């Protein structure tokens, strides 16, 4: 568990207390104004504290530990794919810094993503430390970091010099359910009850979907994305990964072929039979075209011989929905807001196949 409460005691010396009271009395108007301003800012950024978390709080990570001396209010969500921003917004928290990629999926726009303070992320480069420091955070969260954006271990020490850092205890964060991540956030920010409420709302939504669509129960499903010739076809519903959790939340069963992609998600010709399932959902990135994907994937003999394709249970998704949303982004990132939006878009398409 990366959160550990510190035992502490406070001793007040009479003469020191008297001096503090005298100083406070001399500067009461300015102090009151400063405190009021800070409290007003905090109330705009985070909901009221629940009183369930004790501070100081030690944040243990695989890379070191930092200490939250008091409840944080200025929280920087620096993960490039924006999943931490999504989790914080679902808690009612407004992060003081976010990746500019938070609007990629479109589904966070209704939650004020376009108005948030962002830094410009350049793929292949580190998060800019000067932008993080300029946001003056009192907590930096990286619980949703995933491969493809470098690694927390590469920048942890530099982040820890700016503010306490909360990250996942797992080395491979692709397989950390968002429910675990939001619980970590909830405890660190003293919003554990709110975090549980978000989880309960998600379960109620998907429980209703499973009840309305018993035809999904026990059927296997695959989630894959074609990125173009350079990257090829990638399998993303690995065991424990966000897309698999999304599909199982809908009622589907894990695909036995997923084990072939535990370490490498690339779908080679030799492995294409492993993506077969009762239903196959294939996404297409904006880096390619329908013609190119047909030539290299969907029109090949290997692909058309798959059981899901021959039975008509193959769904091919465009890069964007009609309203500009990105299902590929929402399901691959895996958060409560994106999952709810993706279910609304995808469930009708799945239901047509059964």
Ranking 94-103, 119-128, 217-226 by mean pLDDT, the lowest is 119-128
Q: Tell me how far apart the alpha carbons of residues 51 and 35 are, in angstroms, rounded to a whole number.
A: 20
Asked if residue 20 belongs to a domain, the reply is no
| Predicted local confidence at residue 35, as pLDDT | 53
Residues 132 and 256 in one domain: no
Q: Which of 90, 89, 112, 92 is nearest to 48 (CA)?
A: 92
For 187, how many CA atoms within 13 A lie in the half-sphere containing its CB? Answer: 18
Asked if residue 78 belongs to a domain, the reply is yes
Residues 222 and 195 in one domain: no
Residues 109 and 173 in one domain: yes
Looking at 175, 199, 223, the residue that finishes a domain is: 199
Looking at 156, 173, 199, the residue that finishes a domain is: 199
SS3 of residue 236 by DSSP: coil
pLDDT above 60: residue 211? yes
Residues 69 and 175 in one domain: yes
| Predicted local confidence at residue 54, as pLDDT | 97
Q: How confident is the model at residue 30 (pLDDT cuts 50, 70, 90)?
A: low
SS3 of residue 118 by DSSP: strand
Residues 181 and 272 in one domain: no
Looking at 165, 199, 233, the residue that finishes a domain is: 199
Q: Residue 180: give its domain's CATH number.
A: 3.40.50.1980
Contacts 24+ apart (CB under 8 A), 64-67: 64/156, 64/157, 64/160, 66/160, 66/163, 66/164, 66/165, 67/6, 67/164
The parent domain of residue 142 ranges over 57-199
Q: Percent of the chain at pLDDT above 70?
A: 85
Total-model pTM = 0.84
Asked if residue 175 belongs to a domain, the reply is yes
Tokens of 197: 């409420």
| Predicted local confidence at residue 97, as pLDDT | 97
Residues 274 and 340 in one domain: yes
Phi-psi label, residue 64: left if phi above 0, alpha if psi -120 to 50, beta otherwise: left
Instruction: Name the more confident of 285 and 339.
Output: 339
Asked if residue 130 belongs to a domain, the reply is yes
Residues 160 and 225 in one domain: no
Concatenating the DSSP letter of every residue in 265-294 gives: -B--GGGGGGG--SEEEEEE-TTS-HHHHI
| Predicted local confidence at residue 151, as pLDDT | 72
Asked if residue 302 belongs to a domain, the reply is yes
Residues 242 and 109 in one domain: no
Instruction: Name the more confident of 148 and 152.
Output: 152
Q: How many other CB atoms are found less than 10 A from the CB of residue 98?
A: 28
Asked if residue 261 belongs to a domain, the reply is yes
| Predicted local confidence at residue 22, as pLDDT | 38
Residues 228 and 343 in one domain: yes
Q: How confident is the model at residue 332 (pLDDT cuts 50, 70, 90)?
A: confident
Asked if residue 119 belongs to a domain, the reply is yes
3-state class percentages of the chain: helix first, strand second, coil last, to nearest 5: 45, 15, 40
**Per residue in 213-233, pLDDT tens?**
999 999 999 999 999 988 999
Q: Percent of the chain at pLDDT above 90?
A: 62
Asked if residue 288 belongs to a domain, the reply is yes
**Per residue in 169-192, pLDDT tens?**
765 555 678 999 999 999 999 999
| Predicted local confidence at residue 157, as pLDDT | 94
Tell me the average pLDDT across 278-304. 92
Residues 99 and 177 in one domain: yes
Residues 243 and 188 in one domain: no
Q: How confident is the model at residue 212 (pLDDT cuts 50, 70, 90)?
A: very high
| Predicted local confidence at residue 184, as pLDDT | 95
Residues 329 and 241 in one domain: yes
Residues in the chain: 354
| Predicted local confidence at residue 233, as pLDDT | 95
Cβ neighbours of residue 183 closer than 8 Å, sequence gap 6 or more: 192, 195, 196, 199
How many domains in the chain?
2
């Amino acid at each position: 568990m990366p959160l550990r409460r510190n035992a502490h005691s406070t001793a007040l010396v009479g003469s020191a207390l008297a001096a503090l009271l005298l100083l406070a009395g001399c500067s009461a108007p300015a102090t009151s104004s400063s405190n009021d301003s800070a409290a007003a800012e905090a109330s705009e950024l985070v909901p009221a504290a629940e009183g369930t978390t004790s501070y100081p709080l030690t944040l243990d990570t695989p890379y070191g530990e930092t200490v939250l001396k008091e409840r944080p209010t200025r929280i920087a969500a620096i993960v490039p794919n924006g999943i931490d921003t999504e989790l914080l917004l679902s808690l009612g928290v407004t992060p003081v810094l976010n990746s500019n990629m938070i609007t990629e999926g479109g589904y966070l726009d209704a939650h004020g993503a376009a108005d948030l303070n962002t830094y410009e992320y350049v793929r292949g480069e580190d998060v800019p430390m000067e932008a993080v420091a300029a946001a003056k955070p009192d907590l930096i969260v990286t619980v949703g970091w995933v491969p493809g954006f470098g690694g927390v271990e590469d920048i942890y020490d530099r982040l820890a010099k700016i503010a306490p850092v909360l990250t996942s205890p797992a080395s491979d964060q692709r397989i950390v359910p968002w429910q675990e991540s939001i619980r970590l956030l909830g405890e660190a920010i003293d919003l554990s009850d709110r975090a549980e409420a978000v989880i309960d709302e998600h379960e109620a939504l998907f429980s209703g979907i499973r009840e309305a669509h018993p035809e999904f129960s026990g059927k296997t499903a695959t989630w894959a994305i074609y990125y173009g010739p350079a990257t090829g076809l990638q399998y993303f519903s690995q065991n424990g990964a966000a897309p698999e959790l999304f599909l199982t939340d809908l009622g589907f069963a894990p695909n036995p072929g997923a084990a072939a992609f535990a370490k490498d998600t690339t779908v080679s010709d030799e492995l294409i039979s492993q993506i077969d399932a009762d239903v196959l959902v294939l996404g297409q990135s904006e880096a390619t075209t329908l013609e190119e994907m047909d030539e290299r994937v969907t029109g090949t003999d290997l692909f058309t011989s798959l059981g899901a394709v021959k039975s008509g249970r193959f769904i091919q998704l465009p890069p964007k929905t009609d309203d500009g949303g990105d299902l590929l982004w929402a399901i691959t990132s895996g958060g409560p807001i994106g999952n709810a939006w993706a279910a609304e878009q995808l469930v009708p398409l799945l239901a047509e196949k059964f």
